[in-house]
Structure 1
């Protein structure tokens, strides 16, 4: 008879571990921290797996038994590492624990006036609640819903309000200015706070388009301008003008045709202007949008609601969207009474939560996405948090991304039955992997594997990060190290 664990067996083990003691339902999560067994004997193969292939810097890992709760082995388990996007797993738990699984973001069109015969007497207010998943297509549905009320014009102003969220210019100032994964943050966000820049060379001149591109709508952007200049590096330069944003692009870098996403640094104003354009196609005429504080009394005319929190988290885990992680973290901090004016303050609040609820005593977060390289976690803290995650939300492993096991050559291992559900994390010269193996092994386990060379990362200029072959080579080899360690554990546990 096989000793491999199936999903049904794992669920039974988990239920038994949660219900075995009458105190389990009320005991604090901290009391369940996996404790190292007396003088655990490491597998002889672990050091070999961690050192193959060879990479610079340091590596650390830990693995714990999900059925019995014990730390099986570790290497540099109390050393601190940059977690990169593995941070998102902690942010997801922070949001689930603080906001609840029924939480949704809401974006509304409201008024303190009244609508009669197609005319709104008063102001129309676009109110944001921080939804990081809002798209142009969703905004198009909001515009259509407003048009169905019969509204054609307004006598007052078109206002936009971001509630208690202050606009944050970018997640990490150490990143290149033009990368779409380092967006601004606001109470109103659209398309991950990016615009699509497309170009085509025709008769020696460039045709360009800047669009808030969706699947069903492609409105031209009015609040972002583009200038093509004959010059060398840098390829992209950003300027914030008084009433618009400007991207300056080096002509020599464009080629004949192409397209890419560029960040928007004034997302609230941008979202309002895109909505104004979409409403125009619905026959609703509005004046230029203006910023405003949230008014006290309003009547909601149309509403756009996000997916439930677990669905948002699942997409975040799959696509590793930084804006989603940051807005979930800010929303959780706001709900628990913390300060959300700056990312670092909100991240400190999450750090305190992680110490109290997950017993992560030696970890520190500076943001909610892991984009900043100054956050630190230990392998032991991480596997302990993953075990206690099952008490916060038993289905948490199912929100993580399925990782395909690989053989010693780096090819997909089709003979392995191991089900790896994990979060990856990648920065230049930083690679992390943490999660669960719940099927196809003798006993299910939680794991964390970190590799980093912060000295090499510090030497790498921000402008060179997009093109560094050495960094990409290092990161590929670090991922091979992680797969080697997982393969050894899955074979021997």
Structure 2
């Protein structure tokens, strides 16, 4: 997929000169007050040296390190700075979800009848009612279709009504970038949605381009086949060894794919994951296809439900419990799951499945636990929005607080583990900090987008102490500071002995850890973008 320019920034109104000078002096004073006197002199010297790296020049950097047991601040660098969290915000969303919904919370998807039975016919409609399940797979819809057939229904004289009304109809979060919309890490959010792979890339279709003979048009297939996509353009098959320049681009606001470029004959197929407009109707189409495979004919196709239908329950599917569901969310930085959790919090605790209500409930959770000040800003669940702001101090305090909760073990295990090559263990940190003391030690959540790179989590020191850390870097340009973040985590895990190690030891960012070619967006969730 083509690269994008760096994302736009929010611009502030200019201050008069005198006010600007005063503001600068106040900020300088607060920054000095922000940074407490060193408690661990060796740690302070080592982290100061790492943070002097030229890759951080002119960037905004905030750091806090705590003793996890006592809460004592061991190191701080502008811990009260409001910074863009990117995907590290998922730690806030998951902690609030586990606390407010409970680790055993499940999502239920129902098939309901709207009409009367006449032998093997349902004279009326089948309603596919979404319960907000962010992990509903095409295979789960196939299982539900099998249950409908087993219930003795072979004909539906009406329609499949797709009901995504559990959540509001606004499909994208506040401040999400419009040019991210086609990509799998920016799915549309609805009360009914479907994924077609075990990593739960909801509201996406897999597009596979397979070469033919040289000079022929390449074959383009969709999975699921029921995805409502149309095509413009074509992809040609080039000579063997000619390389590939495949373009599969969804037109904004439409389920139309513009095909371009070529693929060399004899080469491996090229696969892309693309989002789909109107995820609830998409799920209804996939369900209709599953019904057909199980011998159930739907006469009038798929339509949208109103949510007010007086239907009767027929069969249902339950998701895995929340404590298990957060594993793919945190390990793979799945944005869609995070947004469903936020809206589910709003629905269950506030009566409305929308972003504003979910955010208000999360804010209440933070306030109730002494994490309400200083004021930050949260507008979504995943951190995709540039409007989100949080301080390193609040992130560190949340990590400390979580240790006292009964769900902490599941949450800690769900965080990516540095250097572990197993995808559902190492997650977005699988290729990072390998061969260091941080490997299989540091449990942390990363977060990145253009000009933003963060790492928050836990490290176990050589003396057995658990340390909490939050390292947030914003507003950098050019070379990624990620090696510096990793070097800090390694220093915490290794203790003072390797303090002379340089950040450059860890090299450039790996190609599969969230930076995809020239793309800087927060696509850590996806190996396919």
**TM-score with structure 1 setting the length:** 0.79
Task: Verify the 8 A CA contact 2:467 2:492 in the aligned structure 1.
Answer: no
Q: 2:336 aligns with which of 310, 319, 323?
A: 323
Unmatched 5+ residue regions in structure 2? 1-33, 196-201, 236-244, 421-431, 497-529
Q: 1:129 to 1:340 in 2, by over 3 A?
A: same
Q: CA deviation at 1:37?
A: 11
Match of 1:375 among 388, 408, 418: 388
Show the counterpart of 1:282. Answer: 294
User: Is 2:458 the partner of 1:436?
Assistant: yes
Q: Deviations over 1:130-186 (max 9, x none)?
A: 111111111111111211112101233321212331233334134434211111111
Distance in structure 1 (CA, Å) of the matches to 2:273 and 2:453: 25
The verdict on how the C-alpha distance between 1:415 and 1:85 changes in structure 2, with shifts beyond 3 A counting, is closer
Cα separation, 1, equivalents of 2:363 and 2:248: 37
Question: Among 194, 204, 211, which residue is 2:223 paired with?
Answer: 211
Per-residue deviation at 1:239?
4.9
Residue 134 of structure 2 corresponds to residue 129 of structure 1: no
Q: How many pairs were matched up? A: 423
- Residue aligning to 2:366: 354
Mapped partners of 2:335, 2:275: distance in 1: 13
Q: What is the deviation of 1:98?
A: 1.4
The equivalent position to 1:200 in structure 2, one of 191, 195, 210, is: 210
Give the match's secondary structure for 2:205: strand
SS at match of 2:390: coil
Does the alignment pair 1:165 with 2:187? no
Q: TM-score, normalised by structure 2?
A: 0.73
* Mapped contact 2:417–2:440 kept (Cα < 8 A): no
* Contact kept in structure 2, 1:239 and 1:247, CA below 8 Å: no
Aligned-partner Cα distance in 1 for 2:271–2:104:
38
Compute the displacement of 1:357 (Å).
3.0
SS at match of 2:55: coil
CA gap of 1:50–1:338, structure 2 versus 1, over 3 A, is farther
Aligned-residue RMSD, C-alpha: 2.8
What is the correspondence of 1:59-70 to structure 2 with a 5 Å cutoff? 59-70=61-72
CA deviations 1:365-411 (Å, max 9, x no partner) are: 12100111221111111111111112333323222121139xxxx86
Larger RCO: 1 or 2 (CA < 8 Å, sep 6+): 1
Q: CA 1:254–1:300 in 2, change beyond 3 Å: closer, same or farther?
A: farther
Is the CA contact 2:106–2:320 (under 8 Å) kept in the aligned structure 1?
Answer: yes
Distance 1:345 1:234, change over 3 A: farther
Find the aligned partners of 2:181 and 2:157 in 1 and give their Cα distance.
40
Q: Which residue of 2 aligns with 1:486?
A: 489
Equivalent-residue separation in structure 1 for 2:386 and 2:343 (angstroms): 19
**Mapping of 1:28-43 within 5 angstroms?**
39-41=37-39, 43=44
Relative to structure 1, the CA distance from residue 252 to residue 358 in structure 2 (aligned partners, 3 Å threshold; closer, same or farther) is farther
Alignment of 1:169-180 (within 5 A): 169-171=171-173, 172-180=176-184
Which residue matches 1:84? 86
Q: How far 1:229 moved relative to its partner?
A: 5.6
